[in-house]
Amino acid sequence: MTRTLAFADREIFWPPADELTEAAERIRARLGDWPPVDEPWRICLTPPDAPRAGDLIVAAGEREHGADSADRAKWLAAGASVIDADEHGARLTTDKGRYALTGPLAEDWLAALASFLDCGSDARDALVLALAWRDGDEADAAREDAWPVDLTRFPRVEGLPAAPAQPFARCPDRLGLYAVMPSAPWVERVLDLGVSTVQLRVKDASPEALAAEIAESVAAGRRHGARVFINDHWREAIDAGAYGVHLGQEDIETADLAAIAVAGVRLGLSTHGYYEMLCALHFRPSYVAFGAVFPTATKTVATAPQGLARLARYVRLVDGAVPLVAIGGIDVAKLPAVLATGVGSAAVVSAITGADDPAAAVAALERIVANR
């Protein structure tokens, strides 16, 4: 057993709780071996006198332990987070926001929460996984590990806008090589090279230039019989008759998702963890993108690289529910391992735009996809 699988010399609960620690060790030992976690987290079963960064203070209700707004403000200012739990689910409050989940709590949910934190999940994702946990999952010897992969057992995110009444148009389960390109000329270039799924991601452009880029990209897609997605600019994508739109999590509440669905435009949503995955699935998108799988310099991502092991678990979780696209730091050398997880599609950016010979790079990438 490696250091990451034992809690004997680590303060994971405060005050110390031997039974919870023993349960956490049993669960943790069945989740696989993950890189050591250096974050100084601990789960506080009662509010500490001196809260610190990384503390998750567990309350049974909004005013449990006298946890009024002044107390909570003090804890959050110190870098701690608060978890309110009851028979309906759990709500996490951090300095970044409040995240509410509805679902049953297993008796061992706190032990499971500690275990998933130790596996490197952030507090939001660890709480999602803890609510997906069921007592005794660690004793199921028939499974390779006890990581939750049954989507029907996962909690529901509260407070999301209603999903459009009309479902989004479907995408193929496997979109193949998915090229994310910075301009219309690049879109045309990769389409000429045989790529059939392309996203136009323009970072800075005037409204007139943006409309022209989108119109040219959509027209090129039609000529090639290809799927062209437009990043972010959903109004312009609808006007141009684009095949699809790709949005980030921050766009979900501002974009008119119903208008996108009614227009017959496909919708792809970015996700960076379990909580965001649940948010995305609520809207029944055409596909979900997961990343960043590896470190990437093409886009600022707040979350740490997810890695292949997490990607494989996401594939098992959403299998059959929605097409999944892996993205972030994927190149010719990494693509075979990415596809070996079973993911239907892989998005690339600099593997093409940064190549000395883009045509040769596309050919190499397409060969890998074809021979998966």
Q: How high is the mean pLDDT in each 10-residue block of the chain (372 residues)?
A: 62 94 94 82 95 91 59 93 95 95 97 96 97 95 91 96 94 96 98 98 93 98 98 97 96 94 98 97 97 82 82 94 96 98 97 98 98 90
Q: Kindly report the pTM of this predicted structure.
A: 0.94
All structural domains of the chain, each given as residue ranges with its CATH number in brackets, are: 3-157 (no CATH), 176-370 (3.20.20.70)
Please tell me whether 298 is known to bind a ligand. yes
Q: What DSSP designation does 80 have?
A: -
Q: How many CB atoms lie within 10 A of CB 81?
A: 25
Rounded-to-integer distance, Cα 285 and Cα 9, Å: 45
Name residues whose C-beta falls within 8 Å of residue 122's C-beta, 6 or more positions apart in sequence: 273, 303
Residue count of the chain, please give it.
372
Please tell me whether 196 is known to bind a ligand. no
Please tell me whether 299 is known to bind a ligand. yes
Please tell me whether 94 is known to bind a ligand. no
Rounded-to-integer distance, Cα 43 and Cα 82, Å: 10
Instruction: Decide: 234 and 252 in contact? Cβ < 8 Å.
Output: no
pLDDT at 63: 45
Amino acid at 252: I
Side-chain half-sphere CA neighbours of 72 within 13 A: 19
Q: What DSSP designation does 208 have?
A: H
Please tell me whether 180 is known to bind a ligand. no
Please tell me whether 329 is known to bind a ligand. yes
Please tell me whether 202 is known to bind a ligand. yes
Rounded-to-integer distance, Cα 174 and Cα 372, Å: 12
Rounded-to-integer distance, Cα 76 and Cα 86, Å: 21
Helix (H, G, I), strand (E, B) or coil at 32: coil
Please tell me whether 231 is known to bind a ligand. yes
Please tell me whether 350 is known to bind a ligand. yes
Rounded-to-integer distance, Cα 129 and Cα 122, Å: 11
Please tell me whether 249 is known to bind a ligand. no
Please tell me whether 46 is known to bind a ligand. no
Please tell me whether 114 is known to bind a ligand. no
Please tell me whether 232 is known to bind a ligand. yes
Please tell me whether 145 is known to bind a ligand. no
Instruction: Decide: 259 and 238 in contact? Cβ < 8 Å.
Output: yes
Rounded-to-integer distance, Cα 188 and Cα 303, Å: 32
